[in-house]
Amino acid sequence: MTGISKSVKKDGTIYYRASLTYNRKHISLGSSESPETAHEMYKVGMSILNDSLHIADYTPSSALPFPKWISLINLRDNKVYLKNPIYMHANFFSYYLSPSVELKFDIDDLFFYSEHRIQERGGHLFCENYGTQASIRSRYGIHPFSVQGRDYRFRNGDDTDFRYENIEVINRYMGVEKVRIRYQTKWQASVNVRGVMRLGIYDSEEEAAIAFNKALDMLESIGQKKTGLTPNYVEDLPASRYADIYTNLTLSDRFLSYIEEFR
């Protein structure tokens, strides 16, 4: 049958590989224990490349898996074959997790996502990167502790649109939240001790981040190191300035009283 080849596994089992050649590029389509199924993969692949099938034509009963559909449609329309389920538009690209879930990214991210497959587990999106699982939100300044609507938001309301202009990071640091007091923007620092305990209201985001760090240090000094909470890395702040703020800022009386209970 056209487009298939017979292979043998180490245990002697025979199986059939499906493949095709398009514009002098050899493309593997998958394998099957049945030569008929492998041949059907080839026929579907050729139908896609001949412009007979489109994304909306995919059904779960298709011989070819959905990611391969997207790769072949992108090759047909954009003359680029990518192993991941990516379809390129003029100024952005779509990454299809499934027929109903389409993520959108800026074209600047194409190289990364063409080499890293996105996975979803429990509503979390991540990529394998150097042997570790990295949340894709972290690429856009969204921390694991961040809460959508409080710490970041998608400007157009679409949480599948990861284009840079659509992502607004509101709070960059752990334990820090932007607040409005008497029509002025301030930053509140808090830590989880007997519930959420406020550490203070500060004029700058950096001061609030350092207040949180100071609170973690004080908790560790009384033997209450908080699992899962890490100090904030305050960018673009000289060490001398950081030390000066750390030394002089004050924390709430309630928090200091809590610390004194254990001294």
- Residues shown for the chain: 263
Encoded amino acid at 76, one letter: R
End-to-end alpha carbon distance in the chain: 80
Q: What is the pLDDT of residue 227?
A: 76
Complete DSSP assignment for 206-251 = HHHHHHHHHHHHHHHHTT---TT------TT--HHHHHHHHHH---
**Helix 205-221 and helix 253-260, axial crossing angle in degrees, nearest 10:** 10
Query: How confident is the model over 140-162, as pLDDT tens digits?
Result: 988 888 889 989 999 999 999 99
- In 146-216, at which residue ranges do the beta strands (DSSP E only) sit? 152-154, 167-169, 176-181, 184-192, 196-202
Return d(Cα 35, Cα 209) in angstroms, integer: 62
Give the model's pLDDT for residue 144. Answer: 80
Q: Enter the tokens of residue 102.
A: 């389409």
Residue 215 falls in which region: left (phi positive, over 0), alpha (psi -120 to 50) or beta: alpha
The per-residue pLDDT for 134 is 85
- The sign one gets for the Cα dihedral 203, 204, 207, 209 is positive
Q: Which of 242, 219, 244, 222 is nearest to 232 (CA)?
A: 242
Please tell me the distance from the alpha carbon of residue 202 to that of residue 215, in angstroms, as a whole number.
14
What residues in the chain have per-residue pLDDT under 50? Answer: none
Q: Are 179 and 188 in contact (CB under 8 A)?
A: yes
The DSSP output letter for 141 is: T
Residues 67, 97: Cα–Cα separation, whole Å: 8
pLDDT of residue 194: 85
**pLDDT in the model for residue 77:** 96
Domain ranges of the chain: 1-81, 90-170, 176-260
Nearest to 219 by CA among 174, 187, 251, 185: 251
Per-residue pLDDT tens for 171-187?
Answer: 889 999 999 998 899 99
Q: Are 49 and 25 in contact (CB under 8 A)?
A: no
For 56, residues 6+ apart whose C-beta sits below 8 A from its C-beta are none
